[in-house]
């Protein structure tokens, strides 16, 4: 197991290099650069930007260099723990993404556990009691969760919370804790604000996982090994949890690698609507302004989450299903 994890981590190094190069090139594909976006914003507000100032900014930020030279300086800096400098915010990228990525991970992991906690028992119930009223009800709710956009659900919950519950559901902190140092009181305040974003972001994933669990468990319930175990007198609950559910969890667990980055990237509009201080809104703004180092750092971290999530799902699959072997 340890040797497998070590090999996977080693193989992730060249993969991340290729991802970083691809990300850096894609960010610079749109015409112009940050200076052009900055000049356009200034012109739109009525200010006059002379050509000499734009040339000076490009030289100061290194944007007049070849793209591969820019990439080389960026990737060498990342290897030394320096993610570059944000042109728009006039600040090191690491200082901007630190707390936002931490909050994003807290929200994503919390949503993932909430999704599993809801989808697993409902999926089992829908498979065992298929075509019952409860199965039809959860299927209907699941289709709504898949069809309705996140931001629309966010707007509805915001309206209900303000009108009927007198709650402020925007942001992840109260005003007094927004810029405070981390403490137990701040963490407790975060937990009070976290439940609505978790419900909104997890609704579509929960609906999808319920359908996956239901379909796979139904397929396993009528396998010969289940019939044999039942004929030997094994109780229904013990039989269900020991054999078919354990096998049906395989595709359920294998989705971790996709769900983690999806929760981050799919939460951009929802984060803007709810005014969440997560990675999504800052990534969106950095792409609009062509702030290459800030956008590149976020996209690189999202790719890393995919690699880590896939590794975690592979390890969990081995634990759940002894038929799977990581070694040769």
| CATH number of the domain enclosing 251 | 1.10.3720.10
In this structure, the number of other CB atoms found within 10 A of the CB of residue 257 comes to 19
Residue 212 is part of which domain span? 107-288
- Looking at residue 263, its pLDDT comes to 64
Contact 35, 58 (CB under 8 A): yes
Tokens of 161: 């919370």
Nearest to 265 by CA among 107, 118, 117: 107
Classify residue 178: in a domain, yes or no.
yes
Classify residue 15: in a domain, yes or no.
no
Q: How many domains does the chain have?
A: 1
Length of the chain: 328
- Looking at residue 174, its pLDDT comes to 81
Classify residue 262: in a domain, yes or no.
yes
Classify residue 98: in a domain, yes or no.
no
DSSP summary character for residue 47 = -
Classify residue 65: in a domain, yes or no.
no
The model's pTM:
0.79
Classify residue 121: in a domain, yes or no.
yes
d(CA 279, CA 201): 14
Contact 119, 213 (CB under 8 A): yes
Contact 10, 3 (CB under 8 A): no
d(CA 25, CA 257): 24
Classify residue 100: in a domain, yes or no.
no
- Looking at residue 257, its pLDDT comes to 67
Q: Tell me the HSE value of 149 on the side-chain side, using a 13 A CA sphere.
A: 8
Classify residue 197: in a domain, yes or no.
yes
Q: What is the pLDDT along the chain (328 residues), one digit of tens a residue?
A: 677 777 777 888 888 888 888 888 888 887 778 888 878 877 777 777 777 878 888 888 888 888 888 888 888 888 888 888 888 888 888 888 887 888 888 888 888 888 888 888 998 898 888 888 988 898 888 888 778 887 788 888 888 877 777 777 778 888 788 778 888 888 888 888 888 888 888 877 788 888 888 888 888 888 888 888 888 887 888 888 878 888 788 777 777 766 666 666 656 777 888 888 888 888 888 888 888 888 888 888 888 877 887 888 777 777 777 666 655 5
């Amino acid at each position: 197991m340890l040797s497998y994890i070590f090999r996977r981590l080693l193989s992730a190094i060249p993969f991340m290099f290729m991802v970083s190069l691809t990300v850096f090139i894609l960010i610079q594909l749109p015409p112009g650069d940050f200076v052009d976006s900055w000049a356009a914003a200034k012109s739109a507000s009525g200010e006059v930007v002379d050509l000499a100032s734009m040339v000076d900014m490009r030289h100061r930020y290194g944007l007049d260099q070849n793209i591969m030279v820019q990439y080389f300086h960026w990737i060498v800096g990342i290897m030394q723990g320096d993610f570059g400098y944000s042109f728009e915010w006039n600040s090191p990228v690491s200082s901007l993404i630190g707390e936002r990525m931490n909050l994003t991970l807290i929200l994503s992991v919390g949503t993932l556990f909430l999704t599993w906690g809801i989808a697993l028992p409902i999926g089992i119930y829908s498979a065992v009691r298929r075509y019952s009223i409860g199965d039809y009800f959860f299927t209907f709710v699941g289709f709504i969760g898949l069809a309705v956009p996140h931001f629309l659900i966010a707007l509805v919950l915001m309206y209900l919370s303000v009108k009927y519950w007198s709650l402020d559901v925007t942001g992840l902190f109260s005003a007094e804790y927004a810029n405070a140092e981390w403490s137990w009181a701040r963490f407790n305040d975060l937990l009070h604000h976290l439940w609505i974003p978790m419900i909104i972001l997890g609704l579509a994933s929960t609906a999808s996982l319920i359908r996956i669990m239901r379909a796979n468990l139904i397929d396993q319930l009528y396998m010969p090994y289940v019939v044999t175990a039942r004929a030997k007198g094994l109780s229904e609950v013990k039989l269900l949890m020991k054999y078919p559910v354990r096998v049906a969890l395989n595709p359920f667990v294998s989705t971790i690698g996709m769900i983690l980055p999806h929760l981050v990237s799919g939460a951009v509009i929802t984060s803007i609507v709810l005014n969440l201080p997560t990675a999504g809104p800052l990534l969106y703004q950095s792409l609009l302004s062509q702030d290459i180092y800030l956008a590149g750092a976020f996209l690189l971290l999202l790719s890393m989450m995919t690699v880590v999530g896939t590794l975690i799902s592979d390890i969990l699959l081995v634990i759940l299903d002894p038929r799977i072997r990581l070694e040769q």
